[in-house]
Amino acid sequence: MPSTSHTEKPWALIMAAGRGSRLAAAIGEAYKQCLLWHGAPLYWHAARALSRSGAVAGVVFVFPEQRLEDEKQLLRKLHAREDLGMPWLTAGGGELRQDSVHLGLAALPPRTRFVLIHDAARPFVSPALVRNVCESLQQGALGVVPALPVTDTIKTVKADHVLATLPREQLVAAQTPQGFDARLLLKAHQHARGASLAATDDATLMEMAGHAVRVITGEAKNVKITRPEDLALLEDAPRQSRRIGMGYDVHRYGKGRPLKLGGIAVPEGMEVLAHSDGDVLLHALMDALLGCVGLGDIGALFPDSDACFDNIASSVLLCKVLAMTREAGMHPEHADMTIAAQTPRIDPYREKIRNNIARLLNLPRESVNVKATTEEGMGFIGKGEGIKAWAVVSAVTDYG
């Protein structure tokens, strides 16, 4: 796996090939990844967090070989219902977790530089923790492990006798996602296979290969669903909260910027007076998103007194606003917009606008609606002096 750009986003492996026999028996399933939470398998919630971090290029789901086709079909249904906004692949796992990771690494796209390894049974991981792991990789770490200090006293035992008590101040409990240089991790796995070495996580294999592994602060809520009693954590986990934001914008027609709506050029000869590219629809949409997270408006964030925003594409500003929304722990789930213009006619461009906004928001097409109206010849709009747009957005908190 030769390296590419240093700023390349990592791919992730979601490890869903383990049997989890204790928990599986408790829920009446052969595999614990079959457990549904909020209407989706645990591995899908993990994938959501990876996607919403904005820091991951794509994901490989690693399933038991005998369930691979069934899980592929379920993934297609899940993806049709809720687009992850990043490519995904599948791979069959092996007998042990270590074997499954090795097979998952082989399924990565060529030239993948960085890889994250995440347990499917950790559905509470936050997008912020994913970003922290990725940032450490970009800063030069060859391996990164999120971990928390151990609060219990840890003893080594044989049968029912204590052999030793370990110094707690030197112990941490490792979590996932763990991040690595993909080429070095693959070599570490190959070395372990050749030497018949076994490890319970990938950081250990990197340590065995002589590579330094950086430890960053994990999250107390990033627990692994392993035992039957852990099911109570799913019941107690907070449901998503929902917020509604509204945005409005208006631009006057005149010699200025060629008309764009929702990032789509509308070549009808109309121009708008604006500091940026004057995309009235995306401006309203951004203000609606900012309303959901209480972060003001685009006039304050991207003032027309700042030359760096001169003729900037509104889609670029929207990416910044979406990043701010993610940082606030929320993501959009639906957008409803109205354009008011006497001219030009919006209908010929409506579906292109809708599809592009769905792409920008990482939403399925049916979660975006674009309406258009005139003002029957009345007032500012009716006289053809300009164009207005309204947007209403619902956003929900990220799981975990």
Binding residue numbers: 249-251, 275-276, 283, 297-299, 302-306, 373-376, 380, 383
Query: Residues marked as binding for a divalent metal cation?
Result: 249, 251, 283
Close Cβ partners of 342 (under 8 Å, ≥ 6 residues apart):
374, 375, 377, 381, 382, 383, 384
DSSP lists the bridge partners of residue 278 as none
> What is the full DSSP assignment across 62-99?
EE-GGGHHHHHHHHHHHHHHS--SS-EEEEE--SSHHH
* Among 119, 120, 61, 117, residue whose Cα is nearest residue 86: 61
Angle at 55 between CA 356 and CA 17, to 5 degrees: 105
Residue 65 buriedness (CB in 10 A; 0-12 / 13-18 / 19+): middle
The encoded tokens of residue 395 equal 């956003």
Find out whether 130 and 50 touch, Cβ atoms under 8 Å. yes
Tokens coding 54: 């904005």
What DSSP designation does 177 have? -
DSSP symbols for 125-159: --HHHHHHHHHHHHTT-SEEEEEEE--S--EEEET
The candidate with the shortest Cα–Cα distance to 60, out of 108, 129, 118, 94, is 108
Which pair of structure tokens corresponds to residue 130? 């994913």
Buried/exposed code over 71-104 (b: 16+ C-beta within 10 A; e: otherwise): beebbeebeeebbbbbebbbbbbbeebbebbbbb
Residue 100: DSSP 8-state: H
- What is the Cα–Cα distance from 26 to 117, expressed in whole angstroms? 26
Task: Spell out the alpha helix ranges (H) of the chain.
Answer: 21-27, 42-52, 68-81, 97-106, 127-138, 182-194, 202-208, 231-236, 280-293, 298-301, 314-327, 350-361, 379-382
SS3 303: coil
Query: Residue 46's closest CA among 19, 95, 12?
Result: 12
Give the three-state DSSP class for 304.
coil
